[in-house]
Amino acid sequence: MTAQQARVEVAPVESAHRRAARRHRVLVHLTQVAVLLAVVGGWQLTVQDSPRSVILYGLPSGIVTRLTTWITEGTAIGSLGDQITTTLEEALIGFVIGTVLGIVCGVALGRVRFLSEVFGPFIKVLNAIPRIVLGAVFVLAFGLGIESKVLLVIVLVFFGVFFNAFQGTREVDRNFIANASILGASRWQVTRQVVLPSAFTWIIASLHVSFGFALIGAIVGEFLGGTSGLGVLIKNAQGTFDANGVWAAMVIMAVVALIAEWLITRLENRLLRWRPAQLAGPDL
Amino acid sequence: MCAEKSPPAIELRQVTKQFTTDSGTPYTALRELDLTVAEGEFCAVVGPTGCGKSTTLTLVSGLERPSVGSVAVHGRPVDGITPGVGFMFQTDAILPWKSVLDNVSAGPRFRGVPKKEALESARDWIRRVGLAGFEDRFPHQLSGGMRKRVALAQNLITEPRVILMDEPFSALDVQTRAKMSDELLALWDLTRPAVVFVTHDLEEAIALADTVVVLTAGPAATVKARFRVDLPRPRVVQEIRFEPRFLDIYHQIWEALRAEVDIAYSQSTRLDRAS
């Protein structure tokens, strides 16, 4: 009797819940579209009537035109695909090397107190200098090719990953390490199977920010001196008073960054699938 | 004279353990503590909070060294992580990123047992602790009691001759706790390793152990008294507490423990008033 009653009551509650959730989602999406239209439309409407403003600020419709010409006819320095590939190549190579270096150094310093005592102050000093300026040094020393950009990316990516890996290593639950040691794990096994997986929650959090830094590093590197890539494209556009060109390159960057963000989130979900799912709590 | 031939499983002699606190002042956790646990003996250590019960275990396991005195397991002085020892922690110490199967097989894998063999014996132990069918789950998908079973299997698979338990069931609800205690006794009875079981629950201590050791209130705790529990085995933890003999023993030990609990309590309340 009671079980039947309960079942009868549960069904409508559930579907009402689902309907409310769908309505909420639709509302969120509609508001997002409205915000976008307001910003882009407002920009278009306020700028389009003054030729001077069009040159200074660019125009949404002009950005679309610029993007289409780039895609169909290529840019002044070669096809658009080549520019994106160059920038992505610099960013990715630097990102991978910087991340690996950051993880290795962070975990090593986190695990070996002596190393952290010796190198801690050096790393603090290096972190305090504005590293983006190093790009100028790298371009002077290593030329206009890919090396100078990759180096700048590495320098930018390394520190974020390093500090998170270091902190993640320090924050590992002492009981996990004690338990594994008593079960017979060597120091290396503890690092591999206890410290690294635990620190990965911290490291992955830093990857989201670091990839943004990698793109910035590649573009600024090209800006400071290069022959191809999106940074050069932006620099040329700026030099010819082509605001639309600058904006168009930024749109491309944004798309690339979003795709990378999506990939990193997928990697995160894969590597951290042992974590409990976030439960919905009350809205406070 | 038996003791002459084979050394006791665990022997702490005149052990003093000092820690340096963050402010730099030394803190004495244990002072001149003597504790002997025979081969196959189930020894419970009770005492008020903060009396250094857990410290005793870390000394035996080799996670910490004594400041003064000697610790020996099976007659061999402890130097580094003691081999042949299992340790069950108060909080969950099984690795949350490993499945149940990988957690239980971790011990043998760490020690270089071939993967196939390790997994086979892990499956066997998972069945023995009643978790068959949960091999591929991650710890967060299990209940607290199930996680304790994983920890138990993870320890027993290495066939330790000494098991150290630091309030292992204190986070469980009362019924689950009694059930787990029964299962622990049944599993212990298979191989009869020496056990040191730290708890603040006197009932649990008497229900499980052959010997109950009462520590004095910290700091600088030491052994106050040692009692034999001559209740017959096998025992049913939830029912044994109704036996008259159980109550006798309880009264006896409580007499010794009460004074220490009072001291510890007045210390903590005095601290509260001062701050």
The H-or-E segment that residue B87 falls in is strand B85-88
| Alpha carbons B163 and B85: distance in angstroms, whole number | 6
The reply to whether residue B61 touches residue A183, judged by beta carbons under 8 angstroms, is no
Packing angle of the helix pair A60-73, A243-271 (nearest 10 deg): 80
Please report, for chain B, the start and end positions of each structural domain, with discontinuous segments joined by +.
1-84+162-241, 93-159
| Alpha carbons A233 and A87: distance in angstroms, whole number | 11
The reply to whether residue B110 touches residue A185, judged by beta carbons under 8 angstroms, is yes
Structure tokens that stand for B132 in this block: 């068959």
Q: Percentage of chain B with pLDDT > 90? A: 52
For domain B1-84+162-241, give the CATH number. 3.40.50.300
Q: Report pLDDT for A283.
A: 56
pLDDT, tens digit (0-9, with 9 covering 90-100), for A209-260 = 999 999 999 999 998 988 899 999 999 998 998 899 999 999 999 999 999 9
Structure tokens that stand for A3 in this block: 């079980």
CB B124 within 8 A of CB B99: no
Is it the case that residue B32 has pLDDT exceeding 70?
A: yes
Cβ-nearest to A183 among B96, B107, B140: B107
Is it the case that residue A3 has pLDDT exceeding 70?
A: no
Q: Report pLDDT for B2.
A: 45
Q: Which of A86, A129, A79 is nearest to A218 (CA)?
A: A86
- pTM of the complete model: 0.82
Q: Report pLDDT for B198.
A: 94
Q: Report pLDDT for A284.
A: 55
- Side-by-side strand order, sheet with B162-166: B85-88, B162-166, B194-198, B42-46, B211-215, B223-228
Mean pLDDT of the A185-210 span: 92
**Chain B residue with the nearest C-alpha to that of A189:** B110
Structure tokens that stand for B143 in this block: 């209940």
Cβ-nearest to A189 among B86, B92, B110: B110
Q: Report pLDDT for A197.
A: 92
Q: Which of A205, A206, A231 is nearest to A220 (CA)?
A: A231
Q: How many CB pairs under 8 A join A and B?
A: 61
| Alpha carbons A246 and A238: distance in angstroms, whole number | 7
Q: Report pLDDT for B20.
A: 85
Q: Give B192 or B4, the one with higher predicted confidence.
A: B192
- ipTM of the complex as predicted: 0.87
B46, β-bridge pairs: B214
Mean pLDDT of the A44-51 span: 89
Torsion A161-A167-A171-A172 (CA) sign: positive
Structure tokens that stand for B163 in this block: 């098991």
Q: Report pLDDT for B49.
A: 80
Q: Half-sphere exposure of A94 toward its Cβ, with a 13 Å CA cutoff?
A: 31
Q: Give A280 or A229, the one with higher predicted confidence.
A: A229
Structure tokens that stand for B71 in this block: 């610790």
Is it the case that residue A1 has pLDDT exceeding 60?
A: no
**Average predicted confidence (pLDDT) for chain A:** 89
pLDDT, tens digit (0-9, with 9 covering 90-100), for A113-149 = 999 999 989 988 888 888 888 888 999 999 888 999 9
Mean pLDDT of the A34-54 span: 91
Q: Which residues on chain A are in Cβ contact (under 8 Å) with B85?
A: 182
The reply to whether residue B87 touches residue A179, judged by beta carbons under 8 angstroms, is yes
Q: Report pLDDT for B271.
A: 59
Q: Report pLDDT for B21.
A: 82
3-state SS assignment for residue B274: helix
pLDDT band for position A9 (cuts 50, 70, 90): low
**Average predicted confidence (pLDDT) for chain B:** 88
Å between A178 CA and nearest CA of chain B: 7
Q: Which of A153, A139, A36, A24 is nearest to A88 (CA)?
A: A153
Question: Which of B55, B58, B95, B196 is the best mutation test for A, with the most CBs of A within 10 A?
Answer: B95
Residue linked to tokens 């409407």: A45
| Alpha carbons A215 and B66: distance in angstroms, whole number | 54
Q: Which residues on chain B are in Cβ contact (under 8 Å) with A201?
A: none
Q: Which residues on chain A are in Cβ contact (under 8 Å) with B154?
A: 183
> How far is CA A254 from its chain centroid?
10
Question: Which of B55, B110, B196 is the best mutation test for A, with the most CBs of A within 10 A?
Answer: B110
pLDDT, tens digit (0-9, with 9 covering 90-100), for A23-36 = 999 999 999 999 99
pLDDT band for position B266 (cuts 50, 70, 90): confident
Is it the case that residue A190 has pLDDT exceeding 90?
A: yes
Mean pLDDT of the B231-259 span: 90
Å between B62 CA and nearest CA of chain A: 9
Tell whether omega for the bond before B8 is within 30 degrees of 0, i.e. cis: no
**Chain A residue with the nearest C-alpha to that of B102:** A193
Q: Report pLDDT for A10.
A: 62
Q: Report pLDDT for A4.
A: 53
The reply to whether residue A275 touches residue B86, judged by beta carbons under 8 angstroms, is no
| Alpha carbons A221 and A134: distance in angstroms, whole number | 9
Is it the case that residue A72 has pLDDT exceeding 50?
A: yes
pLDDT band for position B137 (cuts 50, 70, 90): very high
Q: How many CB atoms lie within 10 A of CB A112?
A: 14
Is it the case that residue B46 has pLDDT exceeding 70?
A: yes
CB B204 within 8 A of CB B64: no
* Chain A residues within 8 angstroms (CB to CB) of chain B: 173, 175-176, 178-186, 189, 193-194, 197-198, 273-276
The H-or-E segment that residue B120 falls in is helix B115-128
Mean pLDDT of the A52-77 span: 89
Q: Report pLDDT for A6.
A: 53
Is it the case that residue A166 has pLDDT exceeding 90?
A: yes
Is it the case that residue B274 has pLDDT exceeding 50?
A: no
- B114-135 as b/e, with b when 16 or more CB fall inside 10 Å? eeeebbebbeebbebbebeebb
Q: Which residues on chain A are in Cβ contact (under 8 Å) with B63?
A: 178, 181-182
Å between B138 CA and nearest CA of chain A: 6
Question: Which of A173, A174, A183 is the best mutation test for B, with the most CBs of B within 10 A?
Answer: A183
- Could you tell me the CA-to-CA distances from A261 to A29, A86, A154, B50, B140 in Å, in that order? 20, 19, 18, 48, 27
Cβ-nearest to B97 among A180, A182, A197: A197
Tell whether omega for the bond before B83 is within 30 degrees of 0, i.e. cis: no
Structure tokens that stand for A119 in this block: 């190198």
